[in-house]
Structure 1
Amino acid sequence: MQSLQTGTAPAATSHARVGASAVLLVAGFVLISANTRVAFGQIGPLAPVAGFDASTVTLLGLIPPLVMGLFAPLAVVARRRLGEERALFAAGALLLVGALVRMVGMPGLIVGTVVVSSATAVVNVLVPVFVRKRFAPERTGVMMGVYAMSMGAGSAVIAALMVPVFRATGESWPPAIGLAVIPALLALVGTVPQLRHASRPDGHPGAAAHDRPQVLRTWTAWSLTIFFGIQTLLFYATLAWLPSILVAAGVADGTAGNMQALFIVGVAAGGLVAPILAAASVDQRPHILAIVVVCAAGFTGLLIAPATAPVVWALILGVGLGGGQAVAGVLYARRGHTPDHVAALSTVAQTGGYLIAATGPILASLLHDATGSWAAPVTAFLVLLAVNAVASMRAGHDSPREPTRRRTEV
C-alpha cells in the first residue's frame, strides 16, 4: 500500500501540472484573442457623440486594415527569430503601448492606432500557426471559434461602454479610449506563462522564404486572399460606419452606439459557431456560401429598412461578418500542409486581404459623399458579396493539382 501511494503521488502531481498548463494555455489564448479588436471598435460608437468629422472616422477606419496588411509579413520574421510564443508576447507588449498612446489627444489616437494595428497584424498571422502547433488537430475549429468569440466579446464590452464613459467624464473621449488599456494589460499578462514553453527560433531562415513563391503561384492563395479581403473590407466598413448609417436613418445616437456593441456580439457568436462547423467538414464551400448569404441578408435589411429593426440587422451582420473573419483561420489550417505552409498562406492572404480591406471605409465615405445617402455604399457591399461567392470557392476545398505534399497533420 505504501508503494502504491508513493507511486501514485508523482503521477497525480504530473496530471495536475498538465491540467494547470492546459488552463494557462487556454486562458492566455483567450486573453490575447479578446484584445485584438478592442481598439478598432471604439471609434464607431464615439464618432456621433464626440463630434469626429468624416475624414477622421475614415482615417481611423483606414489605418487598421492598411497597417495590418503592410505589417503581416513581419509575423514571419518574428516567428523565425523568436518562435510563436515569444512573438505573441512581444506583440502583446506593443498592443499595450499603442493603447496608452491612443489616449494622448488626436495625434496620439492616430499614432497609437498604427502601433496597435501593427501588433495585431503579428497576432492575426500567428494565431492559426499557434493553434495548429499547440492544440490537437481536432481542436482547430473549436480554438479558432474561441479566438473569434473572445475577439468579439472583448470588443463588444468596450464598445458598449464608450458612450456612457464619454458622458460620465464630462464628454471627454480620451478616458473612453483609455478603456482599451485594461484588456491590453490582461493580454500581456496572459502570454507570460507561455514563455516557459517557447519554441526555439527556426534555424533555417530561408525555409519560409522558399515556401512563399510556391504559395503565390497557387490559385488557393489568391482565392483565400479574395475571400478574406472582401469579408474584411465589409467588416471594417461596417465597424466604422454602422452607427452613422443608423443615426442618418433616425436612430438615436446612444441607441446607434448600442447597435455597434450588438453587432460585435453577433461577431462573437458567428465567430464561435462558424469555424467549429467548417472544421468538421472536408469541404468548406457550403460554409463560405452560407456566410455570404447571411451577410447579404443583413445588408439588405440595412438598405431597405435601417431604422425599422436595427437590432435584427446588427445581429445578422455581426453573425455573418464574424463568421467570415473566423472561418478564414480554418481555411489557412485546412489548406496548409505544414506549419510553415500555414504561416505562408496566412501571411499572403492577410497581406493582400487587409490591403483590399483598407479601401472599405474610404469606399463607403466616397459613395456617401457623392450621393448624399448611405444606400449607395450598402448596395456596393451587396455587389462585393456576389463577387466573393464566386471567387472564394477554390479556398473552400483541396485541389488534386496543387498540393506539394500529402497532408499528415489535419
Structure 2
Amino acid sequence: MSVPAPVSASPTPSPSSPRTTGGPPRAAASAVVLVTGFVLLSFNTRVAFGQLGPLAPVAGFGTGTVTLLGLLPPLCMGLFAPLATPVRRRLGEERGLFWASVLLLAGAVVRVLGLPGLFVGTVIVSIATATVNVLVPVFVRSRFEHRRVGVMMGVYALSMGAGSALVAALMVPVWQASGHSWQAAMGLAVIPSALAAVAVAPQLRAPAAAVRPGTPPTGPGPQPSGPSVPATTAGRPGGVLRTGLAWSLVAYFGFQTLLFYTTLAWLPAILVDAGVAGTTAGTMQSLFIVGVAVGGFVLPVLAAARADQRPHLVGIVLVCATGYVGLLAAPGSVPALWSLLLGAGLGGGQAVAGVLYVKRGRDHEHVAALSAAAQTGGYLIAATGPLTASVLRTATGTWQAPLLTFLGVLALSLVTSLRAGHDRP
C-alpha cells in the first residue's frame, strides 16, 4: 500500500501538500510519521477488549465477572462519547488522540492490579476508546486525501483487529507460562499501549482545531455528500438528533455494536457448551478477531468507493446471519468457519459506520456530531447485549434463545440502517 500524504486543512494549500513546511523529503517523512502513529494507535484501541474471552474459560472468571466486564466497555463508551466533541474543540483531533493514547496506557497498567483494578482499568480504557472512536473519522477526513478515506478507515479497522487477534492468541500461552497468572496475561496490553502513545506524540506539533466549528471544509478532504444541516446544530450531537439520518446511524451502530460485544464476550462459552475444548474455544476467539480485521479492512474500502452503501449493509447482515445460523445448527462441527464469518461480518459492520459518518457529514463539525451522537446512543444500546444474553442463557439452559435473538437484532439492523446508507435530503 502506498503511503498517503497528510492533507492540509488551511485555506490555501495545494491538494496534496502536507501540513508541515519544507520540501518533498520532509513531507514524505511527515507522512510516514503520521501513518505510523495512526496504525499503532489503531492497533492498540481494541486490545483490552479481546483479552477476556480466551482467558475466561481457563482462568476461572465467574459468569458475573464476565458479564460485567462485557457490559462495561459499551456502557462507558456510550456515556463518555459526548465528551469527545468538547475535547476536539479545545485540543484538536491530534492532541485529543494523543491524550486518549496516554489514557489507554494508564488503563492497561491499572488492569493488572487485581480484580478491582481489572474493573477500574476497563472503565479507563473504555473512556479513552470512546474519544478515539469519535475523533478518528474526523481525523481521517481532515488529514488524508478524499480518495484515501476508505483505505484509511480500513487500515484503522484492520489494525484494531490485528492488535486484538495477536494479543488474544497470546493470552492462554502466557497464562500457562506464568503459572496461571491472569495478571501477567493482561499485562501484555501495556506494550502496544506504550508504543501507541510514543508514536502519536509527534502529532502534538500539528496545529490544533485546523477547521473551526461551523466552517465548511477546505482543501481536498471529502466534499459534503450528506444533507445540509444548519451550522448552529452541526457541531452538537443533540442538534443532529433532530434528523432521521442521525437516528438511523444510532440504530445501525447500536445493533451492530450490541452483536459485536456480545459475541466477543460469549463466543468461547457458546463453543465450550457445544463440546469444544476450552483452549480450542480461545483459538476460535482469535479467529473471530482475525475475521474482524479482514472484514474491517475490506468493507470500508468497498463502501467508500460508492455513493450508496445500502448493498454493503445488506451483505453484512447476510454474512453475520450465516455465522449465527451455523452456531445454532452445528456449533461444534466447523467452529472456525462460523467464527471467521461472524468476525468478518461484524468487523465490517463496525468499520463501515466510520465511512457512513464521513459520507453523510457535510463538514468536519457535522461528521464529529454524527459520530458522537451515533456512538453515544449506539453504545448504550450495545451495553444491554452481554447481560441480556447471559439472562437468556441462564433462563433457558442453552444458547439457542440468545442466538435466535441475535438473528432478530440483525433484521432490525437492516431495516433501520437503510436511511444512513445513502444520500437523501
The question of a shared fold, defined as TM-score above 0.5 by the shorter chain, is answered with yes
Query: Who is 2:152 aligned against?
Result: 143
Check whether the contact 1:41–1:239 (CA below 8 A) recurs between aligned residues.
yes
Q: Does 1:386 align with 2:411?
A: yes
Give 4+ residue runs of structure 1 displaced > 3 Å after superposition. 200-214
* Residue 182 (1) aligns with residue 207 (2): no
CA contact (8 A) 2:82 2:237 kept: no
Q: Deviations over 1:302-322 (max 9, x none)?
A: 111010000000000000000
2:332 aligns with one of 281, 290, 307: 307
Distance 2:235 2:314 in 1: 33
SS class of match (1:171): coil
Contact 1:208 1:340 in 2 (8 A): no
Q: How does 1:80-91 map to 2 (within 5 A)?
A: 80-91=89-100
- Quick one: which amino acid aligns to residue 150 of structure 1? S
Query: Which residue in the other structure is 1:342 paired with?
Result: 367
- Deviation of 1:199 after TM superposition, in Å, equals 2.0
Q: How far does residue 210 in structure 1 lie from its aligned partner after superposition?
A: 5.6
Equivalent residue for 1:289, pick from 305, 314, 318: 314
Alignment-derived partner of residue 4 in structure 1:
none
Structure 2 counterpart of 1:233, one-letter code? L
Deviation at 1:212, TM superposition (A): 3.6
Could you tell me how far apart the structure 2 residues matched to 1:220 and 1:123 are? Answer: 22
Does structure 2 retain, via aligned residues, the 8 Å contact 1:73–1:351? Answer: yes
Q: Alignment identity in percent?
A: 66
Match of 1:36 in 2: 45
Which runs of structure 2 are paired with 1:86-97 in the superposition (5 Å)?
86-97=95-106
Tell me, yes or no, if the aligned pair for 1:81 and 1:202 is still in contact at 8 Å: no
Measure, in 2, the Cα distance between the counterparts of 1:210 and 1:34. Answer: 28
CA distance in 2, matches of 1:25, 1:208: 31
Matched with 1:399 is 424
Q: How does 1:108-257 map to 2 (within 5 A)?
A: 108-200=117-209, 211-257=236-282
Corresponding residue of 1:25: 34
Aligned length: 388
Unaligned 5+ segments in structure 1 are: 1-12, 401-410
Measure how far apart 1:14 and its partner are.
Answer: 1.4
Give the 3-state SS of the residue equivalent to 1:83 in structure 2: helix
**Higher-helix-fraction structure:** 1
Task: Tell me the residue number matched to 1:6.
Answer: none
Aligned residue in 2 for 1:329: 354
Partners in 2 of 1:345 and 1:81 — Cα distance? 18
Q: For 1:69-103, what per-residue CA distance to the aligned partner results, in whole angstroms no more than 9, with x for missing partners?
A: 00001100110111110110110000000000000
Deviation at 1:388, TM superposition (A): 1.1
- Amino acid aligned to 2:165: A
2:391 to 355, 359, 366: 366
- Structure 2, gaps ≥5 residues long: 1-21, 215-230
Q: Contact conserved, 1:92 with 1:187, CA < 8 A, in 2?
A: yes
Contact 2:213-2:235 within 8 A present in 1 as well: no
* Letter of the 2:194 counterpart: L
CA offsets, 1:349-370, max 9 Å, x none?
0000000000110011000000
C-alpha root-mean-square deviation of aligned residues, in Å?
1.4
> How far off its partner does 1:167 sit?
0.6
Counterpart of 2:99 in 1: which secondary structure?
Answer: helix
